Amino acid sequence: MERNSTAIVTGVSRGLGRAIAEALTAEGWTVVGDGRTLTGEPKHGLVPVPGDVTDSWHRALLVETALETGRLDLLVNNAGILGPSPQPALADYPLDALRDVLEVNLVAPLALTQLALPALREHGGAVVNVSSDAAVAAYPGWGGYGAAKAAVEQFSNVLAAEEPKVRVWWADPGDLRTQMHAEAFPGEDISDRPLPETVTPALLELLRRRPESGRVRL
């Protein structure tokens, strides 16, 4: 990894996205990070680009900023939403809410990946799509979010087959102590879950080893 290597990481305002951004900048990466509530001036290797990843102009700005900043070597599609809280059964799932979940968790990451691919191909870069065990296991109440993440895993799988010059990993970080998981279990104590920072060493090791594309557990 060269000092001018740049990563785009979405959803760095809090939780896992913030932890990933901090871990990468500590390793010498420049991180172009986005978030709907993101504020502040560039510092410690982080170039903040506030905005919503579902907006096409914002996605274009993320890639443009990354290319102006350095060599785009990594895209981490981390931004996501849970959907309704408490989470409803599929029999009662509001379809408008499901469309929002799919737009944020599936459509936006694919759209951003499409924009980033030319630069990633050029330098043999990588895409990390943050997934969930809800993508592969049947948890009552997780149908909307789980269906979106299952689709993310399959688009990652196909992308890996179509893009031999790019590493594609779909990464399951497990159940972490984040605001999203607090929303998933309203009223429950989730203090026993590990903090997001506990999984970033596994991500850094993934970037160092560069194994074949595939599903990984952080």
Indicate if the pLDDT at residue 1 is higher than 70.
no
Instruction: Give the β-pairing of 5-9 and 214-217.
Output: unpaired
Range of the domain at 110: 5-208
Look at the block and give the residue holding tokens 């065990």. 133
- Tens-place pLDDT, residues 128-168: 999 999 999 999 999 999 999 999 999 999 999 999 999 99
Assigned token pair, 41: 């001036």
Domain at 127, CATH number: 3.40.50.720
Give 170's strand partners: 129, 215
Establish if 215 belongs to a structural domain. no
pLDDT tens for each residue of 79-128: 999 999 999 999 999 999 999 999 999 999 999 999 999 999 999 999 99
pLDDT at residue number 174:
77
Catalytic residues: 131-132, 145, 149
Using omega within 30 degrees of 0 as the cis cutoff, is the peptide bond preceding 109 cis?
Answer: no
State the total domains in the chain: 1
Residue 217 maps to a domain: no
